[in-house]
Amino acid sequence: MTNVDKLSKADELTGVDELTGVDRLTGVDRLTGVDQLTGVDQLTGVDRLTGVDELTGADGLTDVDALTSVDDSARVDGLSGPVVVEVTGVHKSFGALHVLRGVDLTALAGTVTVILGPSGSGKSTLLRSINHLEKVDRGLVRVGGELIGYRQSGSKLHELSERQILKQRAGIGFVFQNFNLFPHLTALENVAEAPISAQGKPKSLVYERSRELLDRVGLSDKSDAYPRQLSGGQQQRVAIARALALEPQLILFDEPTSALDPELVGEVLDVLRDLARAGTTMIVVTHEIGFAREAADNVIFMDEGQIVEQGPPAQVLDNPRHDRTRAFLSKVLS
Amino acid sequence: MSVLTPIQPKNAGPPADDDTLTVVPARHPWRWAGTALVLVLLAQFAHGLATNPGWDWGTFAGYFLEKSVMEALLVTLQLTVAGAILGFLGGIPLAAMRLSKNPVLATVSWGYIWVFRSVPLLVQLLFWANLGYLYDRLQIGIPFGPGWSFATADLISPFGAALLGLALHEAAFAGEIIRAGLLSVDQGQHEAAAALGLPKHRQFFKIVVPQAMRAILPNAANLLVNLLKSTSIVYVLAIGELFYQVQVIYGRNGRVVPLLMVATVWYVILTATLSILQYYTERYFARGAVRTLPPTPFQRLKAVLSR
């Protein structure tokens, strides 16, 4: 093995006859029977790669398609991991208003995706189409590899029944701008409702876990309070606990701090940061640039129903490539 | 003295910097005058009730709990309870149909409500009582297939006709009241329930209905009180309910006023009972709608007495 600058987490690496010019190779669990592998600049998150006879000049292996064909991994600007959300070619109109114009989005497990953009740019609609609160006109949405809202057989897409869609939604948390807590239920009942009735878990277990979740968002003393007895920030934290209670593979946040007083924004963002650190897969529509800079793995800037640019926060926020991004940021940051 | 004085605790005296200043509460002489006038008028009315021999309280007392009146009261209650249950049972599908995205269902429901709200209850009752003239026999069974047939007159007794008329009439109003309640629930609640993946029936009964109840209850109670009083109309079908029965009695003995008072007082008592039920039911569904529920009249009385 020559010219390996960095090779980490290689649990098993056997039968490598020649492997040259590798600059970075991380997270390889098993790599067998590689006869020749040269000029690899970056190859990350490979779980299993077998029987590769010859793979040369693999600079071109940054291509997402090439890697997903090997296993379930993908790269989004330096990130790696299994794909949780895959939105492809999504269009959506409300009457004459073309809100989404061909949006592609990929979110990887354990990453935080922040969507920025002026109001009316389609951010919320995109988010709502991921859990099928909005039905898209064209394009596909996959969460955890599962097509949302449809069943594919051959070249036909069969619309799922309401029941099946509800089942899919239970795996996707959603936090609303206006909290939408159930006002006639206590904080604890709000959190416990879905695991009991949507997932059929035993009551005592759910209540115990719901108390833990309220504790996690710092509201263990408010479990018997009704939403109207709580401040906006507290209500939103209950709403986050409610979304977490389903143990979703993904949580969508639709401007979670926009309805809050400035002094209450911080407590909600703290919870979001905690979740991000704990490796929750999140897609957050927000205007909190500070949060995006600090917590996001991938920042997406949308305008007029399209993704204008995306990348790590340092790139999109500090060194935007597009004028529209720059114009938006200068307005928001000033 | 500053313009903005900090709020003083209750027992700390008047909000004055200087101990020599005292606060004189504003006087409201016209309030006292108005109160006195109303009290005098009330006293006059009470005096009239007690002393005018026309009220004939002896007869009133004699008939108030009389057996035939009690039986008639029971019929009135039966008509009210059965009419309300059937009416609201009919109102639920009517509301659901009108809110449905299916244009046929929505139109049928709209049409039903239009017709049954338009036709006066009295006219409707006479129609149902005379259904036998229109349809000699009624038949149930497989559409266009075999079935069972009954003579209309056997199937629909006067009581049945009255109940049918009341229930169909109530259903039209109940449907609109329920629809109004369902519409009053914020769209965000539907979305939150859907986003959590709650099963459809659970969304409806656990999330939407309890919140809709707040808007439904006052109107439903109105409807119920109205129904209670509307049962007096069915006297035209010679059904022995309260109003019919007092008419029979005063037709015999000629003491119109005391017997009308018998019916009136019973209607008032029943309505008062319904109002109390309404108060506590509304309170139950107000959970979470207000930060703290105001004390009930009972609790207020207890607080006053224990002071």
CB contact under 8 A, B194 and A166: yes
Least confident of B102-106, B219-223, B300-304: B300-304
Question: What gap in Å lies between CA B104 and CA B242, rounded to an integer?
Answer: 42
What pLDDT shows up at residue B7?
A: 54
Going by C-alpha positions, the residue among B247, B186, B173, B233 that lies closest to residue B214 is B186
Whether pLDDT at B260 is above 70: yes
Number of Cβ atoms within 10 Å of the Cβ of A300: 24
The answer to whether residues A272 and A237 touch, using CB atoms and an 8 Å cutoff, is no
pLDDT average, residue stretch B216-229: 94
The pairing of beta strand A12-14 with beta strand A30-32:
parallel
What number is the ipTM of this complex? 0.74
With an 8 Å Cβ cutoff, is A181 touching chain B? Answer: yes
CB contact under 8 A, A184 and B287: yes
With an 8 Å Cβ cutoff, is A200 touching chain B? Answer: no
The answer to whether residues B259 and B273 touch, using CB atoms and an 8 Å cutoff, is no
pLDDT average, residue stretch B71-91: 95
With an 8 Å Cβ cutoff, is A57 touching chain B? Answer: no
Helix (H, G, I), strand (E, B) or coil at B128: helix
What pLDDT shows up at residue B8?
A: 52
Question: Smallest Cβ distance to B194: which of A133, A183, A246?
Answer: A133
Greatest Cα pair distance, chain B, in angstroms, is 99
Whether pLDDT at B16 is above 70: no
pLDDT average, residue stretch B205-210: 93
**Please, what is the end-to-end C-alpha distance for chain A in angstroms?**
52
Cα nearest neighbour of A162 on chain B: B200
CB contact under 8 A, A193 and B196: yes
Q: Look-up: residue for tokens 């808007």?
A: B215
Q: Which residues of B touch A172 (CB under 8 A)?
A: 195
In which region does residue B13 sit, left (phi positive, over 0), alpha (psi from -120 to 50) or beta (all else)?
Answer: left
Q: Which residues of B touch A125 (CB under 8 A)?
A: none
Going by C-alpha positions, the residue among B164, B283, B287, B278 that lies closest to residue B220 is B278
**What tokens appear for A85 in the block?**
């959300």
Global pTM exceeds 0.80: no
With an 8 Å Cβ cutoff, is A169 touching chain B? Answer: yes
Question: Smallest Cβ distance to A198: which of B189, B198, B289?
Answer: B198
What pLDDT shows up at residue B9?
A: 52
Question: What gap in Å lies between CA A280 and CA B135, rounded to an integer?
Answer: 69
Going by C-alpha positions, the residue among A72, A30, A21 that lies closest to residue A51 is A30
Question: What gap in Å lies between CA B147 and CA B135, rounded to an integer?
Answer: 16
What pLDDT shows up at residue B305?
A: 87
CB contact under 8 A, A228 and B288: yes
Cα nearest neighbour of A170 on chain B: B197
How near does any CA of chain B get to the CA of A221, in Å? 17
Please, which pLDDT band fits residue B11 given cuts at 50, 70 and 90?
low
Chain A interface, mutation test: which of B101, B196, B202, most A Cβ atoms within 10 Å? B196
Cα nearest neighbour of A167 on chain B: B197
Chain B interface, mutation test: which of A172, A182, A185, A247, most B Cβ atoms within 10 Å? A182
Angle separating helix axes A187-197 and A232-244, nearest 10 degrees: 20
Question: What gap in Å lies between CA A183 and CA B288, rounded to an integer?
Answer: 5
What pLDDT shows up at residue B146?
A: 73
Q: Which residues of A touch B209 (CB under 8 A)?
A: none
Instruction: Could you list the beta-strand ranges (E) of chain B.
Output: 137-141, 147-151
CB contact under 8 A, A184 and B200: no
Q: Long-range contacts made by residues B253-256, C-beta under 8 angstroms, separation at least 24?
A: B253/B59, B255/B56, B255/B59
Q: Which residues of A touch B189 (CB under 8 A)?
A: 180, 182
Cα nearest neighbour of B285 on chain A: A184
CB contact under 8 A, A169 and B194: yes
Percentage, residues of chain B above pLDDT 70: 94
Question: What gap in Å lies between CA A273 and CA A256, rounded to an integer?
Answer: 13
pLDDT average, residue stretch B116-133: 89
How near does any CA of chain B get to the CA of A175, in Å? 9
- Show pLDDT as tens, one digit a residue, over chain A (334 residues): 444 444 444 444 544 444 544 444 444 444 444 444 444 444 444 444 444 444 444 443 433 333 333 334 444 556 677 899 999 999 999 999 999 999 999 999 999 999 999 988 999 999 999 999 999 999 999 999 999 999 988 889 999 999 999 999 999 999 999 999 999 999 999 999 999 999 999 999 999 999 999 999 999 999 999 999 999 999 999 999 999 999 999 999 999 999 998 888 999 999 999 999 998 999 999 999 999 999 999 999 999 999 999 999 999 999 999 999 999 999 887 6
Question: What gap in Å lies between CA B171 and CA A323, rounded to an integer?
Answer: 62
What pLDDT shows up at residue A123?
A: 94
What pLDDT shows up at residue A26?
A: 47
Instruction: Give me the amino acid identity at B185.
Output: V
Going by C-alpha positions, the residue among A223, A204, A203 that lies closest to residue A213 is A223
Going by C-alpha positions, the residue among B126, B89, B86, B94 that lies closest to residue B110 is B94
Please, which pLDDT band fits residue B307 given cuts at 50, 70 and 90?
confident
CB contact under 8 A, B196 and A181: no
Give Rg (Cα) of chain B. Answer: 28
Give Rg (Cα) of chain A. Answer: 22
CA A46 to chain centre: 20
The pairing of beta strand A18-20 with beta strand A36-38:
parallel
Chain B interface, mutation test: which of A175, A184, A224, most B Cβ atoms within 10 Å? A184
Whether pLDDT at B12 is above 90: no
Question: What gap in Å lies between CA A42 and CA A28, rounded to an integer?
Answer: 12
pLDDT average, residue stretch B13-24: 71
How near does any CA of chain A get to the CA of B222, in Å? 24
Q: Which residues of B touch A226 (CB under 8 A)?
A: 287-288, 291
Residues 6+ apart with CB under 8 A from A234: A219, A222, A267
CB contact under 8 A, A228 and B290: yes
The dihedral built from the CA positions of residue A112, A118, A124 and A125, taken in this order, carries a sign that is negative
Please, which pLDDT band fits residue B306 given cuts at 50, 70 and 90?
confident
Q: Which of residues 220-279 of A touch B (CB under 8 A)?
A: 226-229, 242, 246
SS3 readout for A24-66: EEECCCEEECCCEEECCCEEECCCEEECCCEECCHHHHHCHHH
Average model confidence (pLDDT) across chain B = 89
Least confident of A49-58, A190-199, B171-180, B213-222: A49-58
